[in-house]
Structures are given as structure tokens and as C-alpha cells.
């Protein structure tokens, strides 16, 4: 028997360091996270603050960033770490993505030297948590329409508005908040103990339950000018961070798919129906073969994009192609695996429906599948079709 990674000789494409990082994160995921993840999902609770220092010790927070206590690994190494985390649960990978690729990347890319020194080392260590507030109740796919405003008052800024669906929002120490100013969209670092800042955890989610999601409210939040990210001008700034986080999803979603497929092959080999194992039926094998091919193709594309990124830059539409492919393939695999598990597939005893439910969020955040189709459509035709 072979795994999908063996079938596609994935190891032969990886360096020693890449394999080492992958194995280290996989071991941490299996030993530290997997035994608890179904309970976290069921309870709709995630011990973000407790886990952050452990993730920090492994160098997983802001791991692709250079300096300020960050690990400075390659894009491909970062992708492989995301894949292993998401093989446990998309919620764990989301927490790491938001901390590293969104909040820390915003500070690293657009912050002043003083802001970087103040926040990044402690965030890399997992002692401080960040969140990234872009989406609003009425503006998700079209963040350029945001209503949150920052107005000048003497040398200060005063922020008013609200943000929704913000991962890590109610446990963060600092919120990166994007707001409209007279000069256009700007980013602000809001310490979450600032008067007027509020965060309320959102409940009753059926997806990403092992992840903290919050609504943020900004009611006359007064900040000095040095809380503004000096290099962030316009919508391109938050979009630049999103492209980093999306790249992690290109790999990450495939981790969830791999976990579904592995659990399903094991189940099909032992579950007997009509007097023989489910795995011995052609219909089951056809499903497994098709899923293996989709997963393998996704892994090859992810690695290819990683290599392009490491060689000097990947274009946003290339990341869109990867995100679209990985999330669509992963959710299709998770749903197909669920059919093979029958009724057992709907329980938390198996990871499959948990992954499938999580992948609904992964398909939606960091640009929905449709938005990535539009990005690719524009790249292919030269015509924008967003409006």
C-alpha cells in the first residue's frame, strides 16, 4: 500500500530541511493537538493563549519573516508547516496564519522600526497575540467599501466602526485595524486595552469551531499617530497581507484533505459490508483513486508555487489559482470521504466531517472561490468583472 505522498514521490521534491520541518510539525500536531481537537471542536473553544507559546517555541509564528525573533524560513517550508497543522484542524492553522501571515506580516511590511521592535519578538514567541480586522458586516469580498473611519484630532487619530469575523479577535493583545481616512485606507495598531475598543466572541458557528472568531467594535478609539502603520497606503496594503495568508492555505487545505483520505482508507479496509471490506469494492476504489489523483495534483501545484515564491516572487493570480484549486479539491475530497464512512462519517469520532465543515470557511475566507475565479478571469481576459 502507498500513501498519496508516496504515489506522487513528494519526498523526492523536498529538501532535507523541508522534510525535517514537516516531520517536526507533524509530530507536534499528532501528539499535542490531535488528542484534543475533537473536544475543542465540540465545545466550540480553542485554547489559543495556552498554545501560542508552544507554537512560538517551534518557530511557527511569523515563521516566514526575517529578524525580530522570527524563524525566517522559506515560503515552501512555511507552506509545509501549514499543511501539517491543517491536517489536524483548519482552526489551528487559521490561528497561526492570522498571527503570522496577517497581523505580524502587516507590522513587518508596513510598520516603523519602533513598531516592529515593540510587537514582533513577543508575537513570534507567542506571548502576545494579534488579529487582523478588515472584514465588516456589510463588506467582505469588497473590503474597499469599508465604513470604519479614522479621523484626525490634533496629532491623534480617532477610530469608529466595527469589524466582523475576526479570527483571534477576542484574545488578541493588538488588533491591526484597517480604516478609511481622508487620504484613503490606512492601517492602525490598536492595543486591545485601548478605551473604546471592544471584542465579542461569535458563537453558534458550524465551521471552524476550534478557532476563536469575534466581532470588533471601535467607539471613539483614540490613538497617537505612531499607532498608524506608516508604510501602509491604500487597499493594496491589507491585500498584500492576504496574499501571504492565502499562500499558506494553498498548502494547508491539502493537509485537511490528506487527513480525510488517510482516515477513510483505513476505515474502508476494516469496515465489512456484504461480507467483505468496503475497500475491496470497485466503487470504493474508484472514489479513492480519484481523490488520490486530485490530492496529488494539488500537492504538486502547491510545491510548484512554493518554488516560484522562493525563487523571487509569485504573482497574486498564481496564488489565487492555488487557493482555488486546493480549497475546492479539499472540500470535494472531505465530502466524498464522508460518504465512504457512512453514518460513522457524521460523528466526531472521525475527522472527516469536522474537516469538511471547516473547509466551508476556508473556501470563503481570504477571498471566496468566486473572487479567485474573478481574479483569474481578469488575468486571462484583461477584463475586470467584479462589478
Q: What are the residue numbers of the active site?
A: 366
Closest CA relative to residue 241, chosen from 75, 106, 61? 106
Q: Which one, 216 or 295, has the nearer CB to ligand FAD?
A: 216
Q: In the bound complex, which residue of the shown chain has the CB atom lying closest to ligand FAD?
A: 140
Angle in degrees, CA 96, 100, 104, rounded to 5:
145
Give the count of alpha carbons within 13 A of 303, CB side only: 17
How far is the C-alpha of 188 from the C-alpha of 216, rounded, in Å?
Answer: 14
Q: Where are the beta strands (DSSP E) in the chain?
A: 130-133, 149-153, 156-167, 174-181, 184-191, 197-201, 213-224, 272-273, 276-277
Reduce the DSSP state of residue 123 to 3 states and report it: helix
Question: What CA–CA distances, in Å, run from 56 to 100, 101, 118, 323, 351?
Answer: 10, 14, 17, 26, 26
- Residue reference for cell 510539525: 25
Q: Minimum distance from CB of 26 to ligand FAD (Å)?
A: 24
Q: Using an 8 Å Cβ cutoff, are 224 and 115 in contact?
A: no
Cα–Cα distances in angstroms (integers) from residue 374 to residues 315, 366, 383, in the given order: 15, 14, 9
Closest CA to 237 of 177, 297, 159: 177
CB of 135 to ligand FAD, least distance (A): 3
Nearer to ligand FAD, 126 or 306 (CB): 126
Least CB distance from residue 140 to ligand FAD, whole Å? 2
- Residue 329 CB, nearest distance to ligand FAD (Å)? 18
**Nearest distance in Å: CB 132, ligand FAD:** 5
At closest approach, how far in Å is the CB of 18 from ligand FAD?
A: 28
- Interior angle at CA 21, CA 17 and CA 24, nearest 5: 135
Q: How far apart are CA 162 and CA 52, in angstroms?
A: 26
Q: Between 308 and 376, whose beta carbon lies closer to ligand FAD?
A: 376
Which cell numbers in the block locate residue 333? 475530497
Nearer to ligand FAD, 115 or 167 (CB): 167
How crowded is residue 115: how many other Cβ atoms within 10 Å of its Cβ?
A: 20
Task: Tell me whether residue 8 or residue 197 sits nearer to ligand FAD (CB atom).
Answer: 197
CB of 210: closest distance to ligand FAD in angstroms? 11
Binding footprint of ligand FAD on the chain (CB under 6 A): 98, 132-135, 140-141, 165-167, 208, 213, 361, 364-365, 368, 370-371, 386
Q: Which is nearer to ligand FAD, 276 or 387 (CB)?
A: 387
24 vs 21, 52, 97, 166, CA distance in Å? 5, 16, 18, 29
Instruction: Return the number of the residue (119 or 165) whose C-beta is nearest ligand FAD.
Output: 165
Amino acid at each position: 500500500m502507498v500513501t498519496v505522498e508516496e504515489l506522487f514521490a513528494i519526498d523526492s521534491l523536498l529538501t532535507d530541511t523541508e522534510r525535517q520541518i514537516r516531520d517536526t510539525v507533524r509530530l507536534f500536531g499528532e501528539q499535542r493537538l490531535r488528542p484534543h481537537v475533537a473536544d475543542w471542536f465540540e465545545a466550540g473553544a480553542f485554547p489559543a493563549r495556552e498554545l501560542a507559546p508552544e507554537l512560538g517555541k517551534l518557530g511557527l509564528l511569523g515563521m516566514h519573516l526575517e529578524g525580530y525573533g522570527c524563524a525566517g524560513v522559506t515560503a515552501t517550508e512555511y507552506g509545509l508547516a501549514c499543511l501539517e497543522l491543517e491536517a489536524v484542524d483548519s482552526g489551528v492553522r487559521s490561528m497561526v496564519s492570522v498571527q503570522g501571515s496577517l497581523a505580524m506580516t502587516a507590522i513587518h511590511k508596513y510598520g516603523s522600526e519602533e513598531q516592529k521592535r515593540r510587537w514582533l519578538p513577543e508575537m513570534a514567541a507567542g506571548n502576545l497575540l494579534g488579529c487582523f480586522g478588515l472584514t465588516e458586516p456589510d463588506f467582505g469580498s469588497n473590503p474597499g467599501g469599508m465604513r470604519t473611519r479614522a479621523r484626525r484630532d490634533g496629532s491623534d487619530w480617532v477610530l469608529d466602526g466595527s469589524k466582523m469575523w475576526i479570527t483571534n479577535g477576542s484574545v488578541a493583545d493588538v488588533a491591526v485595524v484597517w480604516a478609511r481616512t481622508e487620504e484613503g485606507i490606512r492601517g492602525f495598531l490598536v492595543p486591545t486595552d485601548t478605551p473604546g475598543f471592544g471584542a465579542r466572541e461569535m458563537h453558534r458557528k458550524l465551521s471552524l469551531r476550534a478557532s476563536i472568531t469575534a466581532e470588533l467594535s471601535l467607539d471613539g478609539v483614540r490613538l497617537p499617530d505612531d499607532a498608524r502603520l506608516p508604510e501602509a497606503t491604500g487597499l493594496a496594503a491589507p491585500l498584500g497581507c492576504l496574499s501571504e495568508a492565502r499562500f499558506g492555505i494553498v498548502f494547508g487545505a491539502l493537509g485537511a484533505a490528506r487527513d480525510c483520505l488517510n482516515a477513510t482508507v483505513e476505515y474502508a479496509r476494516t469496515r465489512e459490508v456484504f461480507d467483505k471490506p468496503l475497500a475491496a469494492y470497485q466503487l470504493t476504489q474508484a472514489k479513492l483513486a480519484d481523490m488520490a489523483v486530485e490530492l496529488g495534483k494539488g500537492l504538486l501545484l502547491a510545491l510548484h508555487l512554493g518554488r516560484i515564491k522562493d525563487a523571487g516572487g509569485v504573482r497574486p493570480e498564481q496564488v489565487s489559482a492555488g487557493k482555488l484549486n486546493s480549497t475546492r479539491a479539499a472540500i470535494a475530497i472531505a465530502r466524498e470521504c464522508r460518504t465512504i464512512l457512512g453514518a460513522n462519517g457524521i460523528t466526531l469520532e472521525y475527522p472527516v466531517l469536522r474537516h469538511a465543515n471547516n473547509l466551508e470557511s476556508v473556501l470563503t475566507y481570504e477571498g471566496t472561490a468566486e473572487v479567485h475565479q474573478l481574479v483569474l478571469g481578469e488575468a486571462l481576459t484583461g477584463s475586470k468583472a467584479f462589478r
